[in-house]
Amino acid sequence: MKAHRIAVVCTVALTLVACATTPAPERNPLAAWRPSPNHNPRSAQMIVLHQTEMESAEAALLTLQTRNSGGRVSAHYLIGDDGRLYQLVAERERAWHAGASRWGGVADLNSGSIGIELDNDGVEPFSDAQIAALLRLLDDITGRLDIPRHLVIGHGDIAPTRKRDPSALFPWQRLAQAGYGLWPRANPAPAPIGFDPWAAMRLVGYDLRDPEAALRAFHRHYRGNEEGQWLPGDAEILFDLQVQLMQMPDTPAP
């Protein structure tokens, strides 16, 4: 009898563990549950690049797996200076890498993006091995997840008041030559009379609530500096980016 009671207790305990680890689909008690098969998992729509600003990939891994002074952070991938690739979070999961940010009017970028950290201290050039590994990863991710190839952006682009990464040394043009990110074409046409560069920046995706910070982010990405005032050639670049975006086909809904 004692053995029978122990067996029953064990069976109940195992059942409770199974229930705890395999939750039922979320159901609103206010509504009648009439499930539909017409759905799929939420998926990433863009890729955000970061730099670790730490002394090594090992130090970055420790932080991404534990916490830093500001709390817990993570990313889906980390690429070492030597090109070694690490995955920390499954792509279907929400990594904590974007923080308070905004792009194209979307605020919850942790839910809609893949985060890639690059082992870089913030002042050194990015190595050829690292960029080559990044390009292989971008090719893999955009192909499997059907992410638009032009939606590869920087942390400093989506959080211009807080972040500056990747630095002005990041080779965005090299990525564009491989087909990733939005980049002006060679010899862009002059901007027409009445062209509004701020409207073009908003179309590209920048949050203009702090215009100077947004302009610095634009210059960091497209001009390799962090100037907070308009520069000669900015209008031509923005006009070309605007034309490219307007010529892109709409993405059909699933």
Please give the positions annotated as active site.
117
User: Strands 77-79, 113-118: parallel, antiparallel or unpaired by DSSP?
Assistant: parallel
For residue 131, give every residue at least 6 positions away whose Cβ sits within 8 Å of its Cβ, in sequence order, or none: 171, 174, 175
In sign, the C-alpha dihedral spanning 86, 103, 108, 253 is: negative
Three-state secondary structure call for residue 156: helix
DSSP string, 161-211: TT---S-TTS-HHHHHHTT-S--PPSSPPPPPTT--HHHHHHHHT---SSH
Q: How far is CA 169 from CA 38, 55, 165, 201, 224, in A?
A: 45, 17, 10, 21, 7
Q: Which residues pair with 86 in a beta bridge?
A: 78
Rg (CA), the chain: 23
CA dihedral 52, 54, 59, 61 (to 10 degrees): 0
d(CA 128, CA 69) in angstroms, rounded, equals 31
Structure tokens, 181: 């990110």
